[in-house]
Structure formats: structure tokens, C-alpha cells
Amino acid sequence: MTIRGRGAAWGHGDTPRAAALLLPAFVGLIAFIGVPTFLTIFVAGTDKSLTGPSFHWTGTANTRTAIHDGAFHQSVTNTLLYCLYTIIPALVIGLALALAAARVTRGRGLLRLALFLPVTANLVAIAVVFSYIFDSDGHGLANTVLGWFGAAPVNWLGGTATALPVVASVGLWRLVSLVFVLYLAGLTAVPESVYEAAEVDGLRGWARFRWVTWPLLGPTTVFVLVVVTTLTLQTFDTVSVLTGGGPLGSSTTLVYYIYQVGFTNSFRIGYASMLVVLLLVVVIGVGALGSVLGRRARVRAARTSAVGGSIALPGGAPEPAAPALPVSAGAGR
């Protein structure tokens, strides 16, 4: 109920009412995201542990620990390898599938349903099936297929060379689907007139993709890269279920290592916080880079669209100055 009378104008005088409307959301935002983030940054400079009540400010001691921590280095290498196995392949395959599916008319609903399914999959459940598919003896699906070609069974999850790629295959399976969904949405936003103009100019096949579709999808590509990279850097569920980081730490990703440091092996919350702040810095860096690249991509897409004889902006961004990328740290976790 408003206390104001009829004369109250909608306009600049809405501040008190806006404050009331925003209050519940900001209570949650401040209590469970804002303050905790600053607490973590503070704790990153201490030797706090989960068990002891007292702790001390140690400045950069945790950073120095990290420099000499071989397990941490391994987790960073593993995370980078994981990114290498998943991000670009997911982008290429997802885009190819989206381009192919965009032109399908008959059976389109079922096709999209099947290709969207992995996005909503419960990662723990999928990890269970993958652990069976990549079971070590001759009975897992992967080894059965190898057997058809006369190859010896591989100890997929138990081998230091194969454990990380197998975990990454679950990530790839899921990310392809997410990339597919996002690109399909991006493609639907491209106006038909742009393609017609390209047709008139004699652009077809690869040339049309290279000079029309790809630049028009630029903003989508930047968005996809930011989302996928952010999610990939946070890989945890699958590692936890499939390998527990093993064997010999060969599939320990950064976030799984942080979990081990903070919650299982040593309960060193201070050190774990320092590592998680590192993750935060990288994620913010990716977001900022995406913001800059996104702006450039939008300009380029607008130019391509105008050349194509249309003034419509693909993606139809209602606001030219969308403040930031709505990257969900949690989307499709």
C-alpha cells in the first residue's frame, strides 16, 4: 500500500518506494554474497583453520606458500588442460550443431529437446554413468568398443594420463549442449533480410558464414566464451564423484584442490581462501575482458548488419549500454 496520495508522480521521487522494493533482494545479496566475499578476501591473509578458534594475520604468507606448493601448481596445470580439452572443442561443436539445427524444420522440437538435455543434467548422476562407461575392466562401454578393434582395455579412471581427459569428457558433453542452446538463440535473432542481402551479393556457404553469420554472432561468441570459461574454471562435481582428484592428483582441478585444502586434508581455511580469491580474480578478469570484447563485437555486428542492408541489430539488445555480462556463476552448474 502506498502512503502517497493521488498527486504523487511516477518519476524521480520514487526513491523511498524503490528502497522498500529492493530491500529483501539486497539483504540476501549483502548477507550471502557481498559480506562473505570481503570476509574471504580478509581470511586469505590469515592462518585460520577450520578447527582452531584463534588465527593471526599473516599478510602474504599464504601467497608464498602457494608459490612453493607443488600440488597447487599441479591443480593449476590440470585446470588449464581441462580448459584446453573443453572450451574450444565445445565452442566449435556447439556452433556446428546450432548452424545445422537452425535450418531444420521437420522434427525440430524433438531434435532440440535431445540436444538441450545435457544442460539440465544432474552432474552427479551423469558422473555415475560415465564411471560405468569408463569402467576399468573389459566390461565398460569404452573398453568394449576398444575390444572390437582388438585393443587392450584401458584403466581410464585409474591412469594418470587418462583420468583428467575422462573427467573433461563429461564437461565437454555438457558444455556442447550449453553452447548449442546459446548459439541457437543467437542465430534466431539474425534477421532473415541479412541472409537475403547476402544471397543477392552472391555470398553462399563458407563465404556467407565467414563474412555474414560469424561477425553477426560475435556478441554471442563473446558471451558464450565468458560463460563457458567461468563454468569450466569452477569444475568440481564431476571430479568429486569420478576420481576424487586422483590418481596421484592427476585430475585435481583448482576448485577441487581448494576443497581438499579447506575441508578434507588439513582444514586450512586461510590458505584455501587465498586460492579461492585467486579464482575470483581470474573470473573477474575473464568477465572484464568479455565486457570489452563484447562491446567491440557489437559494433562489428552492427556494421555487418548495416552492410547487409538491414538496420536490425542481431541479438536485438534493447539497451545499447548493457552494463555487464549476466554471467551466472551457477548457471548450469
Binding other proteins (rule: CB under 8 A), the pick from 87, 91, 115, 175 is: 115
Question: Per CB under 8 A, which of residues 63..102 are in contact with other proteins?
Answer: 93, 96-97, 100-101
- The verdict on 249 binding other proteins (CB under 8 A) reads no
Identify which of 263, 276, 199, 195 has the alpha carbon closest to the alpha carbon of residue 233: 276
Q: How far is the CB of 81 from other proteins (least distance, A)?
A: 20
- The verdict on 212 binding other proteins (CB under 8 A) reads no
- The verdict on 103 binding other proteins (CB under 8 A) reads yes
CA 96 to chain CA centroid, nearest Å: 19
CB 164 within 8 A of CB 134: no
Binding other proteins (rule: CB under 8 A), the pick from 67, 80, 141, 200 is: 141
Binding other proteins (rule: CB under 8 A), the pick from 90, 175, 203, 272 is: 272
Give the DSSP H or E segment for 242. helix 237-242
CB 85 within 8 A of CB 228: no
- The verdict on 219 binding other proteins (CB under 8 A) reads yes
- The verdict on 328 binding other proteins (CB under 8 A) reads yes
C-alpha dihedral sign at 75, 79, 84, 85:
positive
Binding other proteins (rule: CB under 8 A), the pick from 129, 161, 200, 207 is: 129
The interface region with other proteins, picked from 65-73, 77-85, 139-147, 300-308 by CB under 8 A, is 139-147
Q: How far is the CB of 316 from other proteins (least distance, A)?
A: 6
Task: Please give, one letter per residue, the 3-state secondary structure of 61-106.
Answer: HHHHHHHCCHHHHHHHHHHHHHHHHHHHHHHHHHHHHHHHHHCCCC
Question: Per CB under 8 A, which of residues 154..173 are in contact with other proteins?
Answer: 173
